[in-house]
Homo-oligomer: A and B are copies of this chain.
Amino acid sequence: MSAEARVKELGIEIPAVPGAAGNYVHAVRTGNLLFLSGKGPKCSTGKVGGDVAWEDAYQDAREVGLYLVAVMREYLGSLDKVVRIVKVLGMVNAVPEFGDQPKVINGCSDLLVEIFGEKGRHARSAVGMGSLPGQITVEIELIAEVED
């Protein structure tokens, strides 16, 4: 089943692409690689492992995944032009003692596999940051292989 068909079947709502908070663009394509800027959740702030539970941050990572999907759809016209999700860098705004970054970033990774199936299985690092813009809970960037 194609990615667009899966989105329809699963009833996944792709949101609008959020605005860029700085002098950058959402995505740049070079050859068959599409590099996406880091995105964060719209309203979710705080330190994961402190005032934010990892289960809530998992949902934030899923929301961020939706924005990344939205950027790819807007840039490519259709998600069916995604050949492979290549690499994800998942950054969690955590307290120094936090250790469940992979569980949090699974929120994004699970969504990518739901939508893209085997093509959605990616290389990844999931790590803890000292701070993030506006104290968002997670920021995630992505590299995809695409075709015309």
Contacts and interface: CB of A to CB of B under 8 A. Distances in A.
Contacts of A132: 99, 101, 127-128
Given A33-B30, A125-B139, A145-B30, A134 B22 contact: no
Number of this chain's copies in the assembly equals 3
6 contacts: A25-B121, A26-B123, A28-B85, A30-B32, A37-B124, A123-B141
A122 interface: yes
Interface of A: 21-28, 30-33, 35-38, 47, 49, 83-89, 91-103, 105-106, 109-110, 113, 121-135, 139, 141, 143, 145
B99 A35 contact: no
Given A35-B123, A96-B131, A102 B22 contact: yes
Contacts of A96: 47, 130-131
A38 B127 contact: yes
B28 A122 contact: yes
